[in-house]
Amino acid sequence: MSILSATDLEFSYGAQPVLCGVGFDGLKSGQVTALIGPNAAGKSTLFRLISGLTKPRSGTITLGDIDLDTLPMRARLKRICFMPQYFAANAALTVFDVVMMAHKQLKGWRVSEEDIRTVSLALHSAGIGHLAEAYVSELSGGQSQMVSAAQALIRKSDVYLFDEPTSALDLRHQLEVLGRIKRAMADRDAIGLVALHDLNLAARFADHLILLGKGRILAQGTPETVLRSAAISETYGVDVAISTGPRKDLIVHAYAS
């Protein structure tokens, strides 16, 4: 079992602090953790620190007994897969092309018949097989997010970071993408960390929640623990009530203060 942990992370843009002493308990493989919090709380910055795209001013991030900042970037890319919030790809490439590139990343670029079958299956499994020959410049925002999720999930990694993977999706596709992520983490015994704004989706799909606000972790634990905390109301500036749905999942009701 792999465990991802962070201790005393500090980061700032110039004189503006973004993360202040951030640390989280060991996130376990096979599970999904939802990173929640208001806009500008530092969620995307934390993902960039974990992925290695940005270096912390201080603090450590470990995977098992490995300090990730001691790994060469190529080795870190093999362990950490990051799906950023905004999809970007060369407009001259098709959906099949960009997913193939993700599949072949760090493996060499010679494409085999097995690679073609693998990518085709991944597209159909993601429900976007019909987009295989579409150019990425032709995609809607929701289609782009589904392609980005397919790019992430075709890779074999220890840790997957998904930065708001459902923000442009309709309700059905939100459920499909998060369900696919949850199944993939369990099947691969991998660690999933997903930034979400929708607290009801977080409650439904996550095993563990981390509440981030003003660059600090304000609460962490099971959905039952974090969503019943007064920290939710204080962090978002709303009144919150919790009920239980017909499937025994938590439902968050928010009201303007």
Q: What is the DSSP string of 101-112?
A: HHHHTTT-SPPP
Sign of the Cα torsion 163, 51, 4, 211 reads: negative
Over residues 90-104, the pLDDT tens digits come to 668 999 999 999 998
Q: What percent of the chain has pLDDT over 90?
A: 78
Over residues 71-88, the pLDDT tens digits come to 999 999 999 999 987 666
Q: What is the pLDDT of residue 92?
A: 84
Q: What is the pLDDT of residue 27?
A: 96
- The span from the CA of 59 to the CA of 243, in Å, is 38
Sign of the Cα torsion 139, 144, 148, 149 reads: negative
- Give residue 114's domain range: 3-256
Q: Residue 21: give its domain's CATH number.
A: 3.40.50.300
Angle at 93 between CA 87 and CA 97, to 5 degrees: 90
Contact 84, 48 (CB under 8 A): no
Q: What is the pLDDT of residue 46?
A: 97
Over residues 220-245, the pLDDT tens digits come to 999 999 998 788 999 999 999 999 98
User: Would you state the structure tokens that stand for residue 167, as one six-digit string?
Assistant: 């923000």
Q: DSSP label at 68?
A: G
Q: What is the pLDDT of residue 249?
A: 86
| Below-50 pLDDT ranges, the chain | none
Q: Work out how many domains the chain is built from and give that number.
A: 1
Q: What is the pLDDT of residue 211?
A: 97
- The span from the CA of 186 to the CA of 253, in Å, is 29
Burial of 170 (0-12, 13-18, 19+ CB in 10 A): exposed
User: Would you state the structure tokens that stand for residue 106, as one six-digit string?
Assistant: 């760090």
